[in-house]
Structure 1
Amino acid sequence: MCGFVGVFDLKVDAKELRPQILEMSKKIRHRGPDWSGIFCDEKAILSHERLSIVDPQSGGQPLYSKDGNLALAVNGEIYNHMDIRNQMNGSYEFLTKSDCEVILALYQQKGIDFIDDLNGIFAFALYDKKNDCYLIGRDHMGIIPLYQGWDKHGNYYVASELKALEGYCNKIEEFLPGKFLYSKDGVVKEWYQRDWKDYENVKDNKTDMAALRKGLEDAVHRQLMSDVPYGVLLSGGLDSSVISAIAKTYAGKRIESGDEKDAWYPQLHSFAIGLEGSPDLAASRVVADHIDTIHHEVTFTVQEGLDAIRDVIYHLETYDVTTIRASTPMYLMSRVIKSMGIKMVLSGEGADEMFGGYLYFHKAPNAEEFHKECIRKLDKLHLYDCLRSNKSMASWGVESRVPFLDKEFLDIAMRINPDDKMCNNGKMEKWVLRKAFEDYLPESVAWRQKEQFSDGVGYNWIDSLKELTEKEISDEQLANAKFRFPVNPPMSKEEFYFRSIFAEHFPSDTAAACVPSVPSIACSTPDALAWDESFRNNADPSGRAVNAVHNDAYKEKVENK
């Protein structure tokens, strides 16, 4: 995981702007504490903060073509870089072993029409001096963050995090996933398009469990490329347990050698966090014993979580309630992971969106609505779980990888017949995934009910947050929220509390507009609230808000009006 800041279309002298870019870049150095690099030209500047995962010795950035014409800053990993290198057949002279250098080779060979050739997680900025043009791109799901902004002079900026642009840019926006900007065209275009987004193209498909299983195994295998120690996040839920179990089967060999040589760091370490006695800690221990990882349990107190909230909001750059609830324990765990010398982890994000794993999916009226909600969830994932996973880990210089969202596996999973994913006829949520991997896991875990991460770390965590914010924010403050916060007025006292802290870190309205603020139950989109009358009267993002589905549903009775 790295971070970069780039500025193009310069309206001021580059030498005068260079010190400012270095200051902006310093604000995201937590993402890349290993080395800093800068490219400065008359018409463009790229500053890069590196976290070295692949090729620590020669893969420093920005990267350059041999003739010095192309300069590239990348945050991410290109999992199929070896295949791309081999396809070049010597037509491009590589200067490093960095996985990201293939972007330069592809650009030189194909121009701008290469991004779908990449299987990885990435945000990049490429400058072509000879043609005085630049290319900005972001991965298919927004797993890696990227923002863009414009200052009072009209200079155009891109940066890995919002904080690098705040105070310098009058206008800030998220650079959306699956998009690219080529300066000669001057407009942002879509490079990631898939037929499975249309229900009509998947409704009659046959579900191939063997293909699903192999697809995920291949995705995990690809994403284990690393020249540094790595681990797995293991909450004890289905998703993280499946990823951890698959990773364990490959951990003994170095995948860069075609699995022929012993791994540099063959012992797989797993990590879990929770309050004392939490559901996740108990379940993760069962899985760790079953798959034989070196397991580390991190316990935190409610007070330690509350003390971290201000820092969490600064690093996550959000005031979304669910994200902050879940990010706080993840942020605390990341610090412990980094202290042990681990620089990369695999995580289980994405499965709930792909397979309809949230408990409210039990209320989906039909397969078409089920599939449409999965697509809506995937389209917004960059604002929630991708953001949480990336920034919680990156805050302490740890890279998070998400095999469920692997580009190739996504195509397999999203072409499954939606009717087979549905929670009907007594089937549990994510039944297809559970069935495909039940032999990897203990039965108690393979068929454990969905717990959202913010719930699984201990129910008292969310309950304490709600209790605190109920005391801190008055009814009058909430009623008048639209005057203090005209952009996305808070809808609950908890959101008001988080928003107040966010505004201290990021005071501009343009920063506030980068954050989502929508009604939800158990992480649903607003559209899914129409599925059940009780949803509209009990809109809380916790999974326990789904009455008659969660085993520990909130005890309050909800009156249907």
Structure 2
Amino acid sequence: MRGILAVLGYGGEAPPVQGKKDNSSRRVRVLELSRRLKHRGPDWSGLHQVGDCFLSHQRLAIIDPASGDQPLYNEDKTVAVTVNGEIYNHQELRRRLSSSHTFRTGSDCEVIVHLYEEHGEEFVDMLDGVFSFVLFDSRDRSFMAARDAIGVTPLYIGWGIDGSVWISSEMKALNDDCEHFDIFPPGHLYSSKNGGAFRRWYKPPWFSEEAAIPSVPYDPLALRAAFEKAVTKRLMTDVPFGVLLSWSPDLKAAREVAEYLGTTHHEFYFTVQDGIDAIEDVIYHTETYDVTTIRASTPMFLMSRKIKALGVKMVISGEGSDEIFGGYLYFHMAPNKEEFHWETCRKIEALHQYDCLRANKATSAWGLEARVPFLDKEFIETAMDIDPEWKMIQPDIGRIEKWVLRKAFDDDHKPFLPKHILYRQKEQFSDGVGYSWIDGLKSHAQLNVTDKMMSNAKFIYPHNTPTTKEAYYYRMIFERFFPQKSAILTVPGGKSVACSTAKAVQWDSQWSANLDPSGRAALGVHLSAYDHKQKEQQHLPATVVAGAGNKKPRVFGLPTHAGVTIHS
């Protein structure tokens, strides 16, 4: 991933720089703020300025490392764009353009400026990939910005008191200079040509609760083919890459998978205390105080540092599968296929505030890019068209969590995985590397937050009032970094059990008294939630398979307290 910052119409007084008060001080300020995103793109930086409009970029070079620096331009540089993302169908789009265009680089993102030249602002739905971008047209001083369908790439938008518009990959580049800022909604486009209004460009039928429940029969081969296609797209890279595997409370299963795949297995260890020591950095980079996200982001943050140190710059990750297929343990209690389906829809719509945010920001903190094939537009369309009756968890007939996905890869002739691994019960992300991680976090919060502090929580934090000491502890740290009301409002709230939406809490009357985000809260469902041997673990495992080009992949097993990746 990369880091982008655009400031459009920066006409007010910028902070003075070395006694200067002219436009150069504003340029220096933009550069200063852009450097706050340097962790996202440590390979190069660029800035394009036309008068009071600035497009800046921090680059992580994955495609065309030699010449793909940004911002990118059309032939006469009247149109410029700064992009965070990957356009997987860029070669096809190049072929569909007229022959009048000249490409300066091999970057997959350069196609955006030329699509704009031919199609105006109506080209966004043609892009197959994940992206956030800001495009500036100096011919009429107009600009547009867009974010990918699900919100895999993060994006924020803010407004200055001088009338300027600010758009950034992370809010840390906006929070000191904008009067107000907010999340840029996924699947939307923002244009100065229509008065700065948002409009949705991604309109799948399952987004509307007025739409009919899907009725397409389950076809395991079609689902497998759609996923294989989504993965293949994401192998577009010119640098070493890896694959993140599911977590396990011990390394036994990870080692077995590595042996089965014929990969070289490496293990790294860090302790619960290592994770606790990293909490402040995690909150600064993920820009959230949500308990579930922090629990899961911390091990991913620590593991990303290890992966990047090994020379790997991109990894394939499994975010989205639990949302699409109803893999969370609380889905056992879905009362019918209609509620099951609408809950998956609600979960997918909220991904940009939870798993997408975690996977992107925890990895980007170390200049590592995570690609998520489950959130491929075409794959989502195929998976969400399936009659949800097939997705329902029915243990009496052998249908466990994400059965339709597992079954699609259950091939007796050419097995993808051993069956006992393929059909292993799902672990919640923040539980999957050992329950001692969550218990350790709670104990640490208990030492740092008093009962008296909790008694006044509703006055100190009237919005999203923390209801546990762990939540209070994270909130204190968050507001040290991001005290602005706008920042506080970007974090979601509401009741949840085992990662459910507030609506799904209504499925079981007992859940309202046990609102913990841990998967263990789904009482009576998990087979080993209170295994004392697991709870006593001091070192926590995680695994990743890594490889590049024709080189044999390598598996890296790291014990971290929650998970670096991946859902089956």
- What TM-score, normalized by structure 2, do the two folds share? 0.88
Any idea what the Cα deviations from partners look like across 1:326-375, whole Å, max 9, x if unmatched?
Answer: 11110000001110110000000000000000000000000000000000
Q: Out of 370-379 and 505-514, give the one that drifted further.
A: 505-514
Separation in 2, partners of 1:145, 1:424: 36
Any idea what the Cα deviations from partners look like across 1:238-279, whole Å, max 9, x if unmatched?
Answer: xxxxxxxxxxxxxxxxxxxxxxxxxxxxxxxxxxxxxxxx62
Corresponding residue number in structure 2 for 1:104: 113
Select the residue among 407, 411, 436 that pairs with 2:408.
436
Aligned partners of 1:14 and 1:44 also within 8 Å: no
Corresponding residue number in structure 1 for 2:445: 469
Separation in 1, partners of 2:349, 2:250: 28
Amino acid at match of 1:291: L
> Counterpart of 1:136 in 2: which secondary structure?
strand
Corresponding residue number in structure 1 for 2:547: none
Amino acid at match of 1:394: S
> Counterpart of 2:251 in 1: which secondary structure?
helix
Amino acid at match of 2:329: L
Aligned partners of 1:34 and 1:49 also within 8 Å: yes
Corresponding residue number in structure 2 for 1:194: 204
Aligned partners of 1:490 and 1:517 also within 8 Å: no
Select the residue among 197, 221, 243 that pairs with 1:232.
243
Q: Say whether 1:347 aligns with 2:317.
A: yes
Aligned partners of 1:320 and 1:515 also within 8 Å: yes
Deviation for aligned residue 1:518: 2.0
Deviation for aligned residue 1:283: 2.1
Separation in 1, partners of 2:432, 2:188: 34
> Counterpart of 2:268 in 1: which secondary structure?
strand
Deviation for aligned residue 1:96: 0.8
Select the residue among 525, 540, 543 that pairs with 2:519.
543
Aligned partners of 1:53 and 1:228 also within 8 Å: yes
Separation in 2, partners of 1:57, 1:203: 46
Deviation for aligned residue 1:293: 2.6
Deviation for aligned residue 1:471: 2.7
Deviation for aligned residue 1:479: 2.5
> Counterpart of 1:387 in 2: which secondary structure?
helix
Corresponding residue number in structure 1 for 2:257: 287
Amino acid at match of 1:334: S
Deviation for aligned residue 1:487: 2.6
Corresponding residue number in structure 2 for 1:517: 493
Deviation for aligned residue 1:235: 2.4
> Counterpart of 1:482 in 2: which secondary structure?
helix
Corresponding residue number in structure 2 for 1:22: 31
Corresponding residue number in structure 2 for 1:175: 184
Separation in 1, partners of 2:136, 2:203: 25
Deviation for aligned residue 1:520: 1.0
Corresponding residue number in structure 1 for 2:549: none
Corresponding residue number in structure 1 for 2:3: 3
> Counterpart of 1:541 in 2: which secondary structure?
coil
Q: Say whether 1:318 aligns with 2:327.
A: no
Separation in 2, partners of 1:448, 1:383: 28
Amino acid at match of 1:85: R
Deviation for aligned residue 1:4: 1.1
Q: Out of 125-134 and 160-169, give the one that drifted further.
A: 160-169
Corresponding residue number in structure 1 for 2:154: 145
Aligned partners of 1:334 and 1:392 also within 8 Å: yes
Deviation for aligned residue 1:131: 1.7
Counterparts of 1:334-483 in structure 2 under 5 Å? 334-424=304-394, 426=396, 427-438=399-410, 439-483=415-459
Amino acid at match of 2:425: Q
Any idea what the Cα deviations from partners look like across 1:59-83, whole Å, max 9, x if unmatched?
Answer: 0000011111001000011111111
Any idea what the Cα deviations from partners look like across 1:365-388, whole Å, max 9, x if unmatched?
Answer: 000000000000001000000000
Separation in 1, partners of 2:251, 2:359: 19
Any idea what the Cα deviations from partners look like across 1:403-439, whole Å, max 9, x if unmatched?
Answer: 0001111111111111100002522011100100123
- What TM-score, normalized by structure 1, do the two folds share? 0.89
Separation in 2, partners of 1:132, 1:280: 57
Aligned partners of 2:213 and 2:341 also within 8 Å: no
Q: Say whether 1:218 aligns with 2:190.
A: no
Amino acid at match of 1:510: S
Separation in 1, partners of 2:485, 2:54: 27
Separation in 1, partners of 2:69, 2:280: 32
- Closer, same or farther in 2 for the Cα pair 1:68/1:435, shift >3 Å? same
Any idea what the Cα deviations from partners look like across 1:446-477, whole Å, max 9, x if unmatched?
Answer: 11111112111111000111122123212221
Separation in 2, partners of 1:22, 1:32: 14
Deviation for aligned residue 1:122: 0.6
Aligned partners of 2:214 and 2:384 also within 8 Å: no
Aligned partners of 1:202 and 1:416 also within 8 Å: no
Amino acid at match of 1:440: F
- Closer, same or farther in 2 for the Cα pair 1:2/1:152, shift >3 Å? same
Separation in 2, partners of 1:173, 1:535: 32
Any idea what the Cα deviations from partners look like across 1:54-109, whole Å, max 9, x if unmatched?
Answer: 01111000001111100100001111111111222524221111000111111111
Counterparts of 1:46-125 in structure 2 under 5 Å? 46-125=55-134
Corresponding residue number in structure 2 for 1:300: 270
Q: Out of 338-347 and 451-460, give the one that drifted further.
A: 451-460
Separation in 2, partners of 1:180, 1:554: 47
Select the residue among 207, 215, 218 that pairs with 1:207.
218
Length, aligned pairs only: 515
Aligned partners of 1:39 and 1:45 also within 8 Å: yes
Deviation for aligned residue 1:22: 0.4
Deviation for aligned residue 1:151: 2.1
5+ long unaligned stretches in structure 2? 13-21, 532-568
> Counterpart of 1:552 in 2: which secondary structure?
coil
Aligned partners of 2:206 and 2:345 also within 8 Å: no
Aligned partners of 1:235 and 1:283 also within 8 Å: no
Separation in 2, partners of 1:457, 1:420: 29
Deviation for aligned residue 1:534: 1.8
Matched-pair identity in %: 52
> Counterpart of 2:216 in 1: which secondary structure?
coil
Separation in 2, partners of 1:302, 1:425: 34
Separation in 2, partners of 1:212, 1:462: 35
Any idea what the Cα deviations from partners look like across 1:130-183, whole Å, max 9, x if unmatched?
Answer: 021001000001100001112232211001101111211121101010011011
- Closer, same or farther in 2 for the Cα pair 1:299/1:47, shift >3 Å? same
Separation in 1, partners of 2:188, 2:263: 38
- Closer, same or farther in 2 for the Cα pair 1:14/1:445, shift >3 Å? farther
> Counterpart of 1:323 in 2: which secondary structure?
helix
Amino acid at match of 1:544: R
Aligned partners of 1:231 and 1:342 also within 8 Å: yes
User: Could you say what the CA RMSD is over the residues aligned between the two structures, in angstroms?
Assistant: 1.5
Corresponding residue number in structure 2 for 1:489: 465
Deviation for aligned residue 1:117: 0.7
Amino acid at match of 1:223: R
Any idea what the Cα deviations from partners look like across 1:516-539, whole Å, max 9, x if unmatched?
Answer: 122211100010000011211111
Q: Out of 224-233 and 15-24, give the one that drifted further.
A: 15-24
Aligned partners of 2:154 and 2:357 also within 8 Å: yes
Separation in 1, partners of 2:23, 2:57: 17
Separation in 2, partners of 1:384, 1:216: 22
Separation in 1, partners of 2:458, 2:434: 33
